[in-house]
């Protein structure tokens, strides 16, 4: 389940409270357990998956989460698979770990592992959200955010795209808040 780190150091793990904190940004966070992880337990844990295994995972979740695709007007989806041996790992981290926006919404469903997202709230304060397996995250277009894998470097998620070109980052130049950077 997701956890939220507020800029005052408070950690929130109640889904309802997290949703309330993120609501002013239009961000949606839900938790779904369709039981699909039982259908591919070895694929969830292995780092490298073949193209046919990726297609299997995507098709399985597309059937179950057809309502998400309709809700998001998705044209297509893919499987984001991050692990220590990912060929584009450095580029991925460099590209998305700075504050940016997108011209399209960014919806994703986490299959396994975890990822950190940072957001700038309307009052300028910043929060960090840790999403984990079975979390569904919807970030509306124009919301200032960054994301990065955790030290475990293990993350698989189905991403839904409303544009053919995917999510292109538009960098904002906002710096990560010092209060979130301090050790706890």
Residue 35 has pLDDT above 80, yes or no: no
Tell me which CATH homologous superfamily contains domain 3-164.
Jelly Rolls (2.60.120.10)
Name the band, by pLDDT with cuts 50, 70 and 90, for residue 32: confident
Cα separation of 76 and 78, whole Å?
7
User: Average model confidence (pLDDT) for the chain?
Assistant: 87
| % of residues, the chain, pLDDT over 90 | 57
Task: Name the burial class of residue 146, with classes exposed (0-12), middle (13-18) and buried (19+) by CB atoms within 10 angstroms of its CB.
Answer: buried
What letter does residue 163 receive in the DSSP assignment? S
Each residue of 76-127: pLDDT tens digit?
Answer: 888 899 999 998 899 989 988 999 999 999 999 998 999 999 999 999 999 9
pLDDT at 182: 45
Q: Is 84 left (phi over 0), alpha (psi -120 to 50) or beta?
A: alpha
pLDDT at 183: 43
pLDDT at 76: 83
* Mean pLDDT to the nearest integer, 10-33: 95
Residue 184 has pLDDT above 50, yes or no: no
Cα separation of 114 and 132, whole Å?
4
* Mean pLDDT to the nearest integer, 148-176: 89
Cα separation of 169 and 167, whole Å?
6
pLDDT at 41: 64
Residue 5 has pLDDT above 90, yes or no: yes
pLDDT at 118: 97
Q: Which of 135, 153, 144 is nearest to 88 (CA)?
A: 153
Cα separation of 140 and 28, whole Å?
9
pLDDT at 161: 87
Strands 3-5 and 11-12: antiparallel
Name the band, by pLDDT with cuts 50, 70 and 90, for residue 179: low
pLDDT at 13: 96
| % of residues, the chain, pLDDT over 70 | 91
């Amino acid at each position: 389940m997701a956890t939220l780190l507020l800029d005052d150091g408070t950690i929130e793990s109640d889904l309802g409270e997290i949703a309330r904190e993120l609501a002013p940004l239009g961000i949606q966070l839900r938790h779904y357990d369709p039981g699909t992880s039982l259908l591919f337990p070895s694929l969830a844990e292995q780092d490298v998956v073949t193209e046919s295994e990726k297609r299997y995972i995507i098709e399985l979740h597309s059937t179950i989460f057809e309502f998400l695709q309709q809700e998001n007007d998705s044209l297509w989806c893919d499987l984001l698979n991050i692990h220590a041996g990912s060929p584009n790992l450095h580029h991925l981290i460099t590209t998305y770990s700075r504050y940016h926006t997108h011209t399209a919404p960014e919806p994703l469903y986490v299959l396994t592992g975890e990822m950190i997202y940072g957001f700038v709230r309307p009052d300028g304060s910043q929060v960090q959200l840790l999403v984990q397996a079975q979390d569904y995250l919807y970030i509306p277009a124009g919301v200032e955010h960054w994301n990065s894998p955790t030290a475990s470097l293990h993350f698989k998620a189905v991403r839904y795209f409303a544009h053919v070109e995917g999510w292109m980052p538009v960098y904002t130049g906002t710096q990560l808040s010092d209060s979130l950077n301090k050790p706890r």
